[in-house]
Amino acid sequence: MSELKYYIKLYFTNMSRSMIARMEFRNDFIIGIFGFFIQNVAALLSLYFIIRNIPNLNGWNMYQMGFLYGFTMMPIAVDHLLTDELWRLAYFRVKRGDLDNYFLRPVPVLFQVLSETFQPEAFGELIVGAVMLIMCGIKCHINWTVSKVIVILVATFFGAFIVTAIKILTASPAFIIKRSGFIMQVFYNFRDYTRYPIGIYPKAIRILLIALVPFGLIISLPVENVMFENYNGLVLCIAIIAAAVVSMTIACFVWTACAKRYESTGS
C-alpha cells in the first residue's frame, strides 16, 4: 500500500514539474489550446455543412451526430491530457537515445514516461466535447437512464485506457526500429472513423473497429446505446472493461519486451 502511495506522490510531483515547465512558455500553451479548439470547430462546421444538405444520415439527425462527435473527444482527450509523451518517444526520443535516465532509476520505465508530460491543451478538446455533449444532448431529447449514464462513464474512463494501450502498443516498436510514430499515427487515425455512425461502414470495417482497433467499441456503441437503446448496457460495460484490461495487459507485456532492446546513442 505504501508503495502505491509512493507512486501516486511521484506521479503528481512529476506532473506539477511538467506543468511548471509548460507555464514558462505561457503563450505556447494558450496558442496550443486555441489550435485544438479551432481544429475541432473546423471539423464540426464541416460536418454541419455536409449534414445540413440531407434530412438525416441513416437515421441520425444533426444533433445526434453532434453528440456523437462530442463523445469521440472524451476518451481521447483524457488520454491526450495524460500520456502525450508517448508521441514524442515514438517519433524522436528513442532515435535520439535520450531515455537513458529512465532506465537507471528504480521505477518502471513506462510509469516514468507516462508521468513525464501533462498536456493542458487537451482541455481545449474536453471543453468543446463537453459543450457538444450538453448542447446536442438537450436537443436530442434523450431518455436518460442510470444504465446509460454508467455506460457513458465507463466508456470515457476505460476507453481512455484502451486508447493509451493502443498508443503504448504502437510506441513499443520504436525500441526496435527507432521510430514508430507513423505506426501510432495510422492506428490513432482510426478514431476519425467513429465521428460518423458506425452503420455507414461495411461489415468488415465494423468488425475491425469493434474488435481490432476498438475505437468503435468505446465510442460508437455506447452512443448508439444512448440514442437507440439497442444494446444491453451491462454487456457493453463488461465488454469495454474486459477490452481495457486485456489490451492494457498485452500493451504492458509488449512494452516490457521491447524496452529491453533499447540502446542509447554512442555520441
Partner 1 sequence: MKKYIPFFKAGMMEEMAYKTAIFSWLLITILQLTCIVFLWIAVYANAASPVINGFTFKEMIVYFVVTNIFSFVCLESSTLYDINTEIKDGTIAISFIKPISYRFRFLFRCMGACTCRLIIMGLPSLIISFSLFIGLGYLKIESVPVFIAHVLLFFVAMILAVAMYDTIDYMCGVLCFYTTAAWGLNFSKGVLVGFFSGTLIPLAFFPGKFGKIVEALPFKGLSQNPVFILTLRVDLMTSVKYIISSAIWLVIFSILGKLLFNHASKKVTVQGG
Asked whether the beta carbons of 208 and 124 are under 8 A apart, the reply is no
For 229: left if phi > 0, alpha if psi spans -120 to 50, otherwise beta; the answer is left
Give the Å distances, CA to CA, from 266 to 95, 172, 219, 263.
11, 21, 44, 9
For partner 1, give the closer residue by CB, 75 or 181: 181
CB of 182 to partner 1, least distance (A): 3
Stretch that binds partner 1, among 8-16, 30-38, 111-119, 242-250 (CB under 8 A): 30-38
Q: Does 50 bind partner 1 (CB under 8 A)?
A: yes
Question: For partner 1, what does the binding mask look like between residues 61 and 90, x meaning CB under 8 A?
Answer: ------------------------------
Under rule CB under 8 A, residue 34 binds partner 1: yes
Beta carbon of residue 190, minimum distance to partner 1 (angstroms, whole number) = 7
- 27 is a site residue for partner 1 (CB under 8 A): yes
Considering the complex, what minimum distance in angstroms separates the CB of residue 267 from partner 1? Answer: 18
Binding track, positions 170-199, relative to partner 1; x by CB under 8 A: ---------x--xx-xx--xx-xx--xx--
Quick check: 23 binds partner 1 (CB under 8 A)? Answer: no
Cα–Cα distance for residue pair 12/59, rounded to 1 Å: 45
- Helix segments in 52-211, DSSP class H: 62-83, 85-88, 94-96, 100-104, 109-114, 122-139, 146-171, 174-177, 181-188, 203-207
**Long-range CB pairs of 2-10, under 8 A, 24+ apart, other chains included:** 7/107, 7/111, 10/107, 10/111, 10/115
Of the candidate spans 27-35, 95-103, 154-162, 255-263, the one that interacts with partner 1 by CB under 8 A turns out to be 27-35
Tell me which residues in 205-244 interact with partner 1 (CB under 8 A): 205
Q: SS3 letters for 22-38?
A: HHHCHHHHHHHHHHHHH
Q: Of 35, 62, 50, which is closest to residue 128 (Cα–Cα)?
A: 35
Minimum CB–partner distance for residue 181 and partner 1 (Å): 8
Residue 38 within binding range of partner 1, rule CB under 8 A: yes
Footprint on this chain of partner 1 (rule: CB under 8 A): 25, 27-32, 34-36, 38-39, 42-43, 45-46, 49-58, 179, 182-183, 185-186, 189-190, 192-193, 196-197, 200-202, 205
